[in-house]
Structure formats: C-alpha cells, structure tokens
Structure 1
C-alpha cells in the first residue's frame, strides 16, 4: 500500500487557498496511522480530552502518538488570547472549566500507559486565578495515578503572577516549559498584547530560581522575519534565566487570516543554529523544520535527564555517595 503525503499547514477537509510561497519538500509528512496512534486518539476523544496535537495540526502527531507520547490541552479548547500565529479558537469568556478533567486525564494516561506526557493549556484570563489551581490539580491527579509517567507541563504566563506559578511548581512536574515563541522585536506582532517577551523570561527565571530541581524549556518559531542577531540574543536571554532545553521549528501559517510565513528555513540552517545554541550551554537543542515545542527527540532526552535525577535522589536517600 502506498503511503500518502500531505503538505503541512493546509486544513485537510478544506480546499487550500492559493499559497503565496510553495512549501518545500522537507515540509511534507506521512499521514498518521497505526494501531497505537488509533488507540491514543480514541481514548482521548472518549474521555473528552483536547490535544494541542490536533488543534494545531502538529506534523509529528503520528510519530508521537504511535510511540507512546502525547500532548494534552487542559482548561478547554478555547483561549482568551488571540496570538496571530495560533490556530486555537479565541473568546473573551470560554466555557467553564470541566471539574472532571483532572480525573479523566489521569484515567486516560493510565489506560494508555504513556511513557512521556506533555500537558499544556489555553490561557484563561477570565478566571480569577487564570486556571492555575485547575492546572495544578491535573498535575497532582496524574502523578498520583501514574507516577512512572514523566510529566512535562507547557504553561501560560499567568500574567507573571508568582503565586499562580507556585501552584504549578509545588505540584512538582518533571519539566516546566513556557515559550517565548519569537524574538523580542516581533513579539507585539506575533503574540497577544498581554503576552510580553520580558514577562515570559521572568516566568522562566522565577520557576528555575524557585524550583531548581525542575528542568525548564522554551521554544522559538522561525520564519517570521527574525534577524540572526535577534535570534542569538533570544538564545542568550533564555540561557541567562536558566533554560536548559530549547526547541526551534518552522512557523507554518494555519490559515489565510494568520501571519504569513516570511521565509522557509532550510534544514541546513536549522542544524547551524542548533550548533550555535548548544555552544551557548543548552543541555539539549532540538532544531529542524518539523520540530515543535513538544517534540519526541527532545522528550527522549529530557526523559533521560529525569531518570538520572530520580536515580540520584534514590541513591542519596540510602546514604550512598553519588559517583562523579
């Protein structure tokens, strides 16, 4: 049976508008399939859980779901912000939070036996604590039900409120990620006006300083018109606030109403940027046209870090010195 290919960034059920730029061959992927993929999809849908994998039409959904990883989006499928790169629906007052969501999420993960789970969320500026308590409850339920699953959370900025960030930190996920998305100059154009570049850096700084045992991670989209000096400054800014894992990927226009792609970055250029970022001290950099914030290669590396940390804590608890 021949394998079908689909160009990314085109809604599968709609006729594509005439593209301004022809997408290069390296931005074509195989349609997702396979028994594990179908099981993950069915289980998440049955329990009424949303996934950023589907909402954002992630190109790696087949690889991740087929390999025992997933990215689940909590607090609904509608955001209170309107970033100009994002395909998720936006309203001032979305539907109320589902009180059963933390339990349903833990049930799904237990049923699927996921090795690595990323939990992200929409922004909920309409809720007094911006959903931080609900997000923390999801983490607590997950870790209680499936303690062997490595949990990464990709959080909103919670408008920089440290008391809200503490709810996430105290729930103790293995990784806390927050994306700066683009360089400082382009932030007002790319992101919602409530999402500031410096505010995002301060979120990452606070998390790392307050919870040093938790790994921090961020992501940048390329192809929006950023200049190299701006990009390298963003790398330096992230290192300065203690971020140890970075992902770099190609921005793809979800629809004609979103920001246009200014440039398709070549795989060779992504490799060059990876080497530069690694030279700045990041523990791991995933860089490529199809790389997304939640990306299996990065998650495998982080899983290794977490396993090492857990083993070190276990050895220490028995009073045995740690080698090295």
Structure 2
C-alpha cells in the first residue's frame, strides 16, 4: 500500500521553487560507482526514497544513507515520501549480514543507517537494527557509523539495544516544532517522546554523540524554533541540522514559506550561541548531510586518537 492520500478534497499544486533550491543533476565517477553498487546489491537508500536534493554531493563524496527493515513504513507522516502499510513484508533475517557485506565492498568513509518505523514488530525492530550495527562494525570497522533511529514508542529497553551496539552517532529527528507535530507527523510520533529518546541515549550512553533535525517552512515561528533549539540542548543534543521542507507530491503538506539562505544563516548563529557542537543550516541541508558528516568524521577520528594513549599518557599515532 502506498502513501495515504486524502480523498475528500483535491490537492493544491506545488509552489514554484526559488532559484536557491535548484541543484545540478548528479554525476561523476564516484557517484556512479556508489549508485551502481547500491543498486547491484539491492540496498534501499533514503537518498532515493526521499528524493534528497543532495544525492550527487553525498554519493560523489563517498557517503551514503541506507535504509534497513524494508522500504515500507507503518506510520504515515504527512511530510514523508516513503510508502506506508499496516502490514509490511516481514523483516529479512539475512539483512544484517548482507548489509555489512555490501558496505564492506563500497568502502565508504561515513555511513548513515536509518530505517522505517516497524510498529508491527514486537520490539519495533530494535533488535534487528542493533544486529545490523553489530555486523557493520565487524565487517567495515573503518567506516564511521551514524544511525538515524525511530522512536520505538519511547521504550527504553529498545533504545538500549541500539546504544549497546555502539554506533558513533545516534540521531533521532524531532522534525518540527511542538505545536506543528500533530499535523506534520504520525499521531504516534510525539514531540515529547522524541525528546525522551534523545535524552535517554545521552544519559545512558554519554560517549555517543546525539543529533537531530528540523524542517523549516511548515508555518513555525521564530520563538517556536528557538524553544525547540533549547529543548534539544537540554537533552544533550550536540549536532543540529536545519533545512527547507520540500513537498514531495501534491498530496503532501504544503510549503508555507521558502526560507531564504540569509535566514538560515541567522538561525545557525542563534543555535550555535546555545552551545551546539555543530549546526548545519541551509535550504538544501538534510538530516544526513555531507558537511555535518565531514565534521563528525573529523571529530570522531580526533576522539579515537586521544583514546589511543600509552601508559605514560603519550598519544599514539592513529
């Protein structure tokens, strides 16, 4: 079953995009290699499923975002282009091993693994997702791993399975401000529940960096955005991405505003002043964004080097 569509009223056509949202068609040898390898190995990517405008930049730079637990979600958020169903296909028990084998062949510098929501599975798919992480870290130890996780209904025991698998970064998106959450997201995905996920990760696994993302242009006010920034800092989130919401089809939520690059720059400064370790802010920025991933890669490598010390406290070359 595809993405739910309203039947009572006709959808309004999508608004014309401003010049700053237009991007070149992706190309280049590295891009083509990543694309062909992902397709040959039958790996689903959120890059393609969500029609991400940065696919050329990321794949061309040796980064990618793959999606596990299938390509059909059990939730129906009104901004999302991924197909939905109450009864998706069963989880593939071979996926963790197959995914790790595929990624080892790709030799990516930085990998983001995300997933659909699987409310049809007892633990929301947490144990399956954790198995994917474990296999990846075993088969591709040089690839830095970030995971973008569902909320697992806010269940701590499920979140703990992800944390114990020990990815370098755990991301979970609030997506929008609290007031707009019931309109933008599925009713099961609440704002406070998302904050709980991020809070629990940071309190239980303080060595793991946490990250979140907000879409702009849905009708949020500046005061609401600043409050969301504060809420994320209060639960220890260190990396934030801000990007423009783009309407995937005429049946999805309308774009209320195309936020200018200058406004994104202003919001970045205000967020940085609150103490985020890194803020990526711009019309084409997405949750999985190359600039943020490059920053995280540099930070993680630095942290790993600092941990490699001799008994005399002298740093060891990485």
Q: Does 1:320 align with 2:299?
A: no
**Counterpart residue number, 1:70:** 64
Change (3 A) 1:319 1:76: farther
Shift of 1:99: 1.6
Matches within 5 A, 1:155-304: 155-304=149-298
Q: TM-score, normalised by structure 2?
A: 0.94
Aligned equivalents of 1:169, 1:226: Cα separation in 2? 32
Aligned mate of 2:81, from 79, 87, 98: 87
Aligned equivalents of 1:320, 1:252: Cα separation in 2? 50
Deviation digits for residues 21-56 of structure 1, max 9, x if unmatched?
321000100111122112111211222210000000
SS of equivalent residue, structure 1 residue 212: coil
SS of equivalent residue, structure 1 residue 50: coil
Aligned equivalents of 1:45, 1:80: Cα separation in 2? 24
Q: TM-score, normalised by structure 1?
A: 0.92
**Counterpart residue number, 1:135:** 129
Contact kept in structure 1, 2:216 and 2:245, CA below 8 Å:
yes
Contact kept in structure 2, 1:49 and 1:101, CA below 8 Å:
no
Shift of 1:18: 7.9
Let me know the Cα RMSD of the aligned residues.
1.2
Aligned equivalents of 1:104, 1:223: Cα separation in 2? 38
Moved more, 138-147 or 96-105: 96-105
Aligned equivalents of 1:221, 1:104: Cα separation in 2? 33
Aligned equivalents of 1:107, 1:62: Cα separation in 2? 24
Shift of 1:102: 1.2
- Gaps of at least 5 residues in structure 2 are 1-10
Aligned equivalents of 1:281, 1:307: Cα separation in 2? 21
Contact kept in structure 2, 1:78 and 1:88, CA below 8 Å:
yes
